[in-house]
């Protein structure tokens, strides 16, 4: 049997650990609104009694009239990385007997706020969100004031009072850039999604800069493009394909990397011989290109699943938690082997 500090109140997470089951299973057992094996229910009840756990009834009463539905907001479902995280949320929600209502913001702050208001109008029990700027969001400030439980996914806020499930974007950006440097590329640039629409993009750029400083290199350029329909203007095209072009590019998403690869191919340049590229996300289509795309692969499905499970814990009164999941640098033909 686990032990806890005498002064701390038991949480749903403690009950799950004591019973040897998932948080979602504990939630189903306590709510009694989804089928559960009698033996499992007995384990949960025994853990509740042993720990003296008391569900957060006050929070439930304040949210009277809410449904067993979680609201989900992502920037775009056209990007497979977000679709994969939504699938993780849906799988975990189905297991827990919840349903999912999905909205997208198209990377626009105004639409982001409208979408969240729309989700709240459906009396959702909690929210899983990806927002433009998790540390400076008036919308999140409003949710905090109202006591609406939410968990951020992909966002990596500095604020400890905002729950999140993500990877370390700064470290990942640093590792991607180190890989380009290890491949012998010293003229490096970054193609980033617009910072105003994505704090993740800014964090990956920070990692890019840290790796350059570590190697004593200066960046050739920072190029900010739109996410869903990146338009490449004449000066940017010349920068990427002209005689003084970078020899290595770090792109803040795989979709941007694939767009740049197409642009280079149209200009008669070869990847990776002329320009090496590392993307970010690990979407499956990156393996199917020629050459295949080297990328930072995120565990998007698991990220969504963990975000939902933590949301259940938040609804039951658990403290905010920052969940950092592992990532990997997935090799591909767009990046030569390190020297």
Query: What is the pLDDT confidence band of residue 34, given thresholds at 50, 70 and 90?
Result: low
Q: What fold characterizes domain 12-55?
A: 434 Repressor (Amino-terminal Domain) (1.10.260)
Of 5, 25, 128, 162, nearest in space to 13 by CA = 25
The domain covering 66-167+300-326 belongs, at the CATH homologous superfamily level, to Response regulator (3.40.50.2300)
The HSE-up count of residue 180 (CA atoms within 13 Å, CB side) is 36
Per-residue pLDDT at 64? 46
pLDDT band of residue 63 (cuts 50, 70, 90) is very low
pLDDT in the model for residue 101: 96
Environment class of 175 (CB within 10 Å of its CB; exposed 0-12, middle 13-18, buried 19+)? middle
| pLDDT(59) > 80 | no
Instruction: Please give the pLDDT value at position 110.
Output: 82
Residues 26, 41: contact at Cβ < 8 Å?
Answer: no
CA distances for 6 relative to 98, 224, 273, angstroms: 33, 52, 63
Q: Which residues of the chain does CATH 3.40.50.2300 include?
A: 66-167+300-326, 169-298
| Chain segment 251-284, per-residue pLDDT in tens | 999 999 999 999 999 999 999 999 999 999 999 9
Topology of domain 169-298, CATH: Rossmann fold (3.40.50)
Report the side by side order of strands in the sheet with 322-324. 99-104, 69-74, 126-129, 150-153, 164-166, 322-324
Tokens encoding 79: 């990007």
């Amino acid at each position: 049997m686990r032990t806890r500090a005498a002064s701390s109140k038991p949480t749903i997470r403690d009950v799950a650990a004591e019973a040897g089951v998932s948080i979602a299973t504990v939630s189903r057992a306590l709510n009694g609104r989804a089928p559960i094996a009698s033996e499992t229910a007995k384990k949960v009840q025994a853990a509740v009694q042993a720990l003296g756990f008391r569900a957060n009834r006050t929070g439930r009463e304040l949210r009277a009239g809410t449904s067993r539905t979680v609201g989900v907001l992502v920037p775009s479902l056209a990007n497979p990385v977000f679709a994969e995280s939504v699938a993780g949320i849906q799988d975990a929600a189905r297991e827990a007997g919840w349903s999912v209502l999905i909205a997208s913001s198209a990377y626009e702050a105004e639409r982001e706020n409208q979408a969240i208001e729309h989700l709240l109008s459906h009396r959702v029990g909690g929210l899983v969100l990806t927002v433009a700027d998790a540390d400076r969001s008036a919308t999140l400030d409003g949710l905090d004031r109202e006591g609406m439980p939410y968990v951020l996914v992909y966002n990596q806020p500095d604020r400890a009072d905002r729950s999140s499930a993500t990877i370390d974007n700064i470290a990942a950006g640093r590792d991607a850039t180190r890989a380009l440097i290890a491949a012998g590329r010293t003229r490096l640039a970054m193609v980033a999604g617009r910072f105003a629409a994505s704090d993740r993009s800014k964090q990956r750029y920070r990692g890019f800069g840290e790796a350059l400083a570590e190697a004593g290199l200066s960046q050739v350029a920072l190029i900010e493009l739109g996410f869903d329909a990146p338009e490449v203007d004449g000066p940017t095209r010349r920068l990427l394909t002209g005689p003084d072009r970078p020899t290595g590019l770090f792109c803040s998403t795989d979709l941007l990397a694939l767009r740049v690869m197409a642009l280079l191919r149209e200009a008669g340049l070869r990847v990776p011989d002329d320009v090496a590229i590392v993307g970010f996300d690990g979407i499956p289509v990156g393996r199917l290109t020629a050459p295949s795309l080297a990328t930072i692969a995120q565990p998007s499905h698991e990220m969504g699943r963990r975000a939902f499970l933590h949301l259940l814990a938040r609804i039951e009164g658990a403290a905010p938690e920052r969940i950092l999941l592992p990532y990997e640098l997935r090799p591909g033909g767009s990046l030569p082997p390190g020297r």
